[in-house]
Amino acid sequence: MADNGDGGKDTLTIRDNRTGREYEVDILEGDVVRAMDLRQIKVEDGDFGMMSYDPAFTNTASTRSDITYIDGGKGILRYRGYPIEQLAERSSFLEVAYLLLKGELPTQNELDSFVHDVTFHTYVHENMIKLLEGFRYDAHAMGMMISAIGALSTFYPEAKDVLDADVRWTQIVRLVAKMPTLAAYAYRHHRGLPYVYPENELSYTANFLNMLYRIGVKDYHPNPVLERALDVLFILHADHEQNCSATTMRVIGSSQADPFSAQAGAMAALYGPLHGGANEAVLRMLSRIGSVDNIPAFMDKVRNREERLMGFGHRVYKAYDPRASIIKRTADEVFQVTGRNPLLDIALELEKIALNEEFFVERNLYPNVDFYSGLIYQAMGFPVEMFPVLFAIPRSVGWLAQWQEMLEDPEQRIARPRQVFTGAESRDFVAIESRG
Ligand code: CMC
């Protein structure tokens, strides 16, 4: 048992009042004890031993991680130690992707080589187009994306070799490269427009905008403000440690499934309105409210729990989400190009009320990343169905960084939580004619 240098010990003494026995368990860094240390606590020798019960993992660390640091109380977010504000200001999305995936900012040569590799993996097999064409004209873009990414695993059977670091890296590059292509194809399908192939001389975000919006011209040059705004939004969404979708990626990956299958699962987790589907839900909510005059009636419903204020609240942040502050500034820049989104007034008024009223203040309901992002996406011409996809493109990087870290962590094994069984005791089968 370690001495902590202050005369105390980095241990925890647990007294079981059922038996009067005491147990001393180590406290690891960050006020953490190992759940497995509880298993020695038993009433009788043959007992299974004690477990912790934690629905929704609100107080359980599932991993050690070097990737993303969040201090939810202070509103701090850092990737590999670098504050999100500095990265959003001074970096590019692919540079941040390299940082998250490799652990360090790239040298110029490393960045050039990474950008080159991503650029040259943007094309998808033509059969992927046939797959997408099988969807109904009004299919939700996220549903199409989940299927498409899952389908990619069948094109790259070697991706199953997840314990080979080189094979892993090739799949990582493929996924980062192909997400915008497939996202643009899903959008074009929805609009009934011909697919536009990737252009290698454009930047990651310019190429994406080109595949989305080029119609009837040879060259498409996105507005540089919008190109940069999308890049900043991608940086802000790139990772967020052990959230619902990253945990899904790790859990699926822990069975050594290939990364395309694991990422399809992570995307499904992201799709829900409480996670990455919230940006879409925010826009639908703002449109439903319709005008500032209708806000008081809407807020009454939130207080009565008939409505949820989408884009507010967070499991980890109990202060202003630092990503929301940056997005708010980005929104101003975008609106100077596109014109002001008329829903902004409703959003600002909702925020004002939420930051000042007791119901919201005592529950720490600050705007999160999804509150303002949808207003920007809408101003840039994206339909609401694309919003979760715009979250998923950059978050691929975070999922893949988490997946890679999980596979390299000798402490990780197949994920397998326990349960507290509350069902029936053993009972004998009853023939159907004797039931009821
Ligand atoms: N509107 C109204 N009340 C809320 C909201 C909200 N958006 N969020 C939480 N609350 C209330 C909730 O009713 C509860 O009140 P009470 O204690 O009186 O029952 C209290 O605040 C605690 O809420 P919770 O649901 O236990 O908190 P959680 O940590 O389980 O949920 C959350 C976090 C993000 C799912 C939730 O805040 C929420 O549903 N927000 C709206 C959806 C949203 O914007 N999601 C995007 C999250 S950020 C991007 C991402 O990471 O995906």
Whole-prediction pTM value?
A: 0.94
Cα gap 177→317, rounded to integer Å: 31
**pLDDT 10s digits, 2-22:** 566 677 889 999 999 999 999
- pLDDT value of position 140: 96
Residues 97-113, mean pLDDT to the nearest whole number: 98
Residue 80 has pLDDT above 70, yes or no: yes
- pLDDT value of position 219: 87
- pLDDT value of position 2: 58
Q: 314 alpha carbon to ligand 1 midpoint, in Å? A: 6
- pLDDT value of position 224: 96
- pLDDT value of position 342: 87
- Quickly state the pLDDT bin for 436 (edges 50, 70, 90): confident
Q: Give the atom of ligand 1 at the shortest distance from the alpha carbon of 311.
A: 44
Smallest CA separation from ligand 1 atom 37, residue: 313
Residue 268 has pLDDT above 80, yes or no: yes
Residue 276 has pLDDT above 60, yes or no: yes
**pLDDT 10s digits, 290-303:** 999 999 999 999 99
* Residues carrying an active site annotation: 275, 314, 370
Q: 319 alpha carbon to ligand 1 midpoint, in Å? A: 13
**pLDDT 10s digits, 123-163:** 999 999 999 999 999 999 999 999 999 999 999 999 999 99
Ligand 1 pocket, 365 CB below 6 A? yes
Q: 322 alpha carbon to ligand 1 midpoint, in Å? A: 17
Smallest CA separation from ligand 1 atom 30, residue: 315
pLDDT averaged over the chain?
Answer: 95
Q: 274 alpha carbon to ligand 1 midpoint, in Å? A: 8
Smallest CA separation from ligand 1 atom 20, residue: 363
Residue 367 has pLDDT above 70, yes or no: yes
Cα gap 304→302, rounded to integer Å: 5
Pocket test of ligand 1: the residue of 274, 275, 302, 361 to mutate, having most ligand atoms within 8 Å of its CB, is 274
Ligand 1 pocket, 242 CB below 6 A? no
Question: H or E stretch including 69?
Answer: strand 68-71
Q: What is the dihedral of CA 246, 249, 255, 257, to 10 degrees?
A: -160
Q: 385 alpha carbon to ligand 1 midpoint, in Å? A: 22
Smallest CA separation from ligand 1 atom 21, residue: 363
Helix or strand or coil: residue 376? helix
Domain ranges of the chain: 1-53, 63-410
Pocket test of ligand 1: the residue of 315, 353, 373 to mutate, having most ligand atoms within 8 Å of its CB, is 315
Cα gap 369→236, rounded to integer Å: 8
Smallest CA separation from ligand 1 atom 50, residue: 275
**pLDDT 10s digits, 159-176:** 999 999 999 999 999 999
Task: Select from 230, 122, 143 the least CA-distant residue to 186.
Answer: 143
Smallest CA separation from ligand 1 atom 9, residue: 313
Residues 84-95, mean pLDDT to the nearest whole number: 98
**pLDDT 10s digits, 391-429:** 999 999 999 999 999 999 999 999 999 999 999 999 999
Pocket test of ligand 1: the residue of 241, 283, 308 to mutate, having most ligand atoms within 8 Å of its CB, is 308
Report the topology of domain 63-410. Citrate Synthase; domain 1 (1.10.580)
Residue 30 has pLDDT above 90, yes or no: no
- pLDDT value of position 3: 63
Q: 315 alpha carbon to ligand 1 midpoint, in Å? A: 7
Ligand 1 pocket, 314 CB below 6 A? yes
**pLDDT 10s digits, 213-227:** 999 998 888 999 999
Cα gap 252→246, rounded to integer Å: 10
Pocket test of ligand 1: the residue of 309, 350, 357 to mutate, having most ligand atoms within 8 Å of its CB, is 309
Ligand 1 pocket, 237 CB below 6 A? no
- pLDDT value of position 271: 97
Percent of the chain with pLDDT over 90: 93
- pLDDT value of position 320: 87
Residues 312-330, mean pLDDT to the nearest whole number: 92
Ligand 1 pocket, 191 CB below 6 A? no
Which DSSP string do the residues of 277-328 spell out, in sequence order? THHHHHHHHHHHH-SGGGHHHHHHHHHTTSS--TTB--SS-SS--HHHHHHH
Q: 313 alpha carbon to ligand 1 midpoint, in Å? A: 5
Would you say 146 and 237 are in contact if contact means Cβ atoms under 8 Å apart? no
Task: Select from 378, 393, 394, 122 the least CA-distant residue to 226.
Answer: 378
